[in-house]
Chains A and B, each alone.
Chain A
Amino acid sequence: MRRTAPLSLAMIALLGLSACGSGDTGAGGSLQGEGSGADCTIPGPVPVGAALSLTGAAGSYGESQRNGLELAAAHLNEQGGVTYELTVEDDQTDERQGITLFEQFTDDGVSAIIGPTLSTTAFQAQPIAQDAGVPVVAISNTADGITEQGEYIHRVSLTEGQVIPQTVAAVTESEDLENVVVMYSDDDAFTESGYEVFAQALEDEGVEVAETLTFSVADTDFRPLLTEAAKAEPDAVIVSALIEAAIPLVTQAREIGLDVPIVGGNGFNNPQLMTDAGEAAEGVVVGAAWNSAATQNELNTDFLAAYEAEYGKAPDQFAAQAYTGLMTIDAAVRAECSGEPEAIKDGLGTIDGLDTVLGSLTINDARDAEHEAVVQVVTDGEFVALD
């Protein structure tokens, strides 16, 4: 029963949307503005749809993302010239619901779509926007191949392939890594691809891999593997695993006396690691796209203050990426001073060195974002930037 209530609510909301949405299409003329860049003025509000996982397994990410987007919309509308009409809908962490929302948005004639939260949903839903010619900005998807779905699909979130090499390089330098043990679950596509990036990055950095140990995603007892790992006396243990395995793995490593740094992939980038593994999480190194303390610029300071004032808590990476997503769309709109989907798509292609809360952001030819990653280490129960 728990699931039915929000579902039916969402259905009612969707019906309501479709009823009033169809009237808005064709009002395209009002999206053509005058002036350029910061002086650009567009008469009508630019409609932007966001499909986020507000409920279900990824619900905690979706909520941060909604906050980030709404804050960005408020800031942009305050600034004036171009205003945005942001519609946030819940995909319930369900691929089918994601498809329905994308169909809804394209039928309603939005100028751009943000989301969805998870890569698996993105693969299913994005082709709809691609076929309809509506630009998409992915704000949290890290899987390979997201932007390969078509020339309308862009993203501002870094992939594992971008974050991991920067992480490995930073740790190699700070910890003088020479000899490591690599562990990964070999029956999961996400962790296996993470492992491949790690292996390549370690080779590029000239770090020797003493041993590579594999386990299953369902495993929870890692003591035999960790005992093997400890025998190699590594400078660090490199792990590509989901958070479910990461927590017992880290706890048991400390238990058997393996106190070297543990370097994790994106699966480790989760505050649950500190809540559940407690002190054992100290010294775990994880790369990320953003960390509240790491990016020092005026935009970021303002963002932190505004977010805390609005929501009474510090933003996380998902909020920062969502905020950047809408800001990037704004930059694209202003580039051609038009809120039309085609113009936004062209504008996104010109984003180069845009100042964002994530740092200087460029959208490359593959329509993926490039910016500096943040390497974090768990210290006193919190992620702080690695020196």
Chain B
Amino acid sequence: MQQLLNGLFVGSIYALFAIGFTLVFGILDRLNLAHPSVFAASAFIGIELVEVAGLPWWAALPAVAVVGGVLGLVVERVAFRPLKGRADAHFAGLISSIALGGMIIALLQWRYGPDTRRFPAGTFPDGQLELLGARFTILQAAILVISVVLMVALAWLVARSRLGRAMRAVAENPTAARVLGVDVDRVTATTFAISAALGAVAGALFAMNVNSAQLGMGSAIELKGLAVIIVGGMGSLPGALVGGLLLGVAEVLAVQYIGSSWRDLVAFALLFGLLILRPQGIFGSRRLREV
């Protein structure tokens, strides 16, 4: 039970990170590889907000989301928009976002140095909770709740709101959407902003969960995020949620039943096996391409 909860806590952060990834992919058909850098940047910025501005940890989260949103707009404006007219816009955007991600990390290193940074002592409540014999902190419970609430809110936004309708229209066919009066550029920018805001909150939560932020934390989770969105079904929001939780639990069970040295091997092999059984991912639908 304890291990299952451990898996769910870390899995919910994977899911939140992956959902930002898959949002841009599902709607805009772009893979934004600057996402892991936003994840890392928000962790450092979150620590600074708590340390210097004296915000309590929960108040730092909305602030980090705003910073993340702005970063998302920058990423879209700098790495994607100038290239959107090119025939190879997919790959060009992919590569330019890697470059921009590298620049963000370099700026972080210039600002904060190469050392691991932590939240100041006493940032988090001390309390512990117990459920069916498993122990966890209030912070961990909050992380799980915040992640799930954000993901549900996003699902609602995409399915029900006016903006969500515009997003789905763009996803279906950008040209047709433009003809119907949808401001495609604005929807694109908004999608990037929301995606990056979620990635930023995931980064801050991750840093809180383990109380440390490192420059390399984005690249450590990048591969997991990619695995999660592939397994969940490219572009599928519920897929990213389930995929993230699944990966978290798979890692933990690998430690429990097979051995800690085999953790990544087992977790990824499991996901790979799933893909062989269901190539389109858990919630993915086979896409028909017209020639």
Listed in ascending order, the chain A residues whose CB lies under 8 Å from chain B are 57, 186, 213-215, 218, 220-221, 223-225, 227-228, 244, 247-248, 251-252, 255-257, 276, 278
Contacts and interface: CB of A to CB of B under 8 A. Distances in A.
Given A220-B210, A247-B118, A278-B121, A228 B10 contact: no
Q: Which range holds the interface residue count of chain B?
A: 20 to 34
Contacts of A227: 2-3, 6, 256
A221 B216 CA distance: 14
B114 interface: yes
29 contacts: A186-B261, A213-B255, A213-B260, A215-B260, A218-B220, A220-B210, A220-B212, A220-B214, A221-B10, A221-B209, A223-B10, A224-B7, A224-B251, A225-B255, A227-B6, A228-B3, A228-B255, A228-B256, A244-B214, A247-B116, A247-B212, A248-B211, A251-B211, A255-B135, A255-B137, A256-B135, A257-B135, A276-B118, A278-B121
**Chain A CB within 10 Å — which of B3, B6, B114, B209 has the most?**
B6
Interface string B201-242: 000000001111010110010000000000000000000000
A248 B256 contact: no
Given A215-B260, A244-B212, A257-B135, A224 B3 contact: yes
B252 interface: yes
Given A244-B212, A248-B211, A214 B2 contact: no
Given A213-B260, A227-B2, A227-B3, A221 B255 contact: no
A224 B135 contact: no
A248 B117 CA distance: 12
Contact of A224 (B118, B137, B255): B255
**Chain A CB within 10 Å — which of B135, B216, B217 has the most?**
B135
Contacts of B260: 213-215, 225, 228
A245 to B, nearest CB: 9
Contacts of B3: 224, 227-228
Interface string B1-37: 0110011011000000000000000000000000000
A223 B255 CA distance: 11
B248 to A, nearest CB: 9
Nearest to A244: B116
Contact of B216 (A218, A248, A255): A218
A213 B258 CA distance: 11
A24 B212 CA distance: 52
B270 to A, nearest CB: 15
A57 B109 CA distance: 13
A256 B9 CA distance: 14
Contacts of B9: 223
A57 B220 contact: no
B108 to A, nearest CB: 15
Contacts of B261: 186, 214
Nearest to B128: A255
Contacts of A213: 255, 260
Nearest to A215: B260
Contacts of A223: 6, 9-10
Nearest to B1: A227
A213 B255 CA distance: 9
**Chain B CB within 10 Å — which of A244, A251, A255 has the most?**
A255
A224 B211 contact: no
Given A220-B217, A228-B256, 9 more contacts: A57-B115, A213-B260, A214-B261, A223-B9, A227-B256, A247-B116, A247-B211, A248-B211, A278-B121
Contacts of B115: 57
A57 B2 contact: no
Contacts of A224: 3, 6-7, 251-252, 255-256
A237 to B, nearest CB: 14
Nearest to A243: B116
Nearest to B264: A216
A214 B118 CA distance: 24
A276 B251 CA distance: 27
Nearest to A56: B114
A225 B121 CA distance: 24
A218 B216 CA distance: 8
Interface in B103-125: 114-116, 118, 121
Contacts of A278: 121
A225 B252 CA distance: 8
Contacts of A248: 210-212
Contacts of B252: 224
Nearest to B7: A224
Contacts of B217: 220
B117 to A, nearest CB: 10
Interface string B251-272: 1100110001100000000000
A221 B116 CA distance: 14
Nearest to A275: B121
Contacts of A218: 214, 216, 220
A57 B114 contact: yes
Nearest to A222: B210
Contacts of A57: 114-115
A274 to B, nearest CB: 10
A94 to B, nearest CB: 13
Contacts of B212: 220, 244, 247-248
A274 B20 CA distance: 36
Contacts of A221: 10, 209-210
A256 B260 CA distance: 18
A221 B12 CA distance: 14
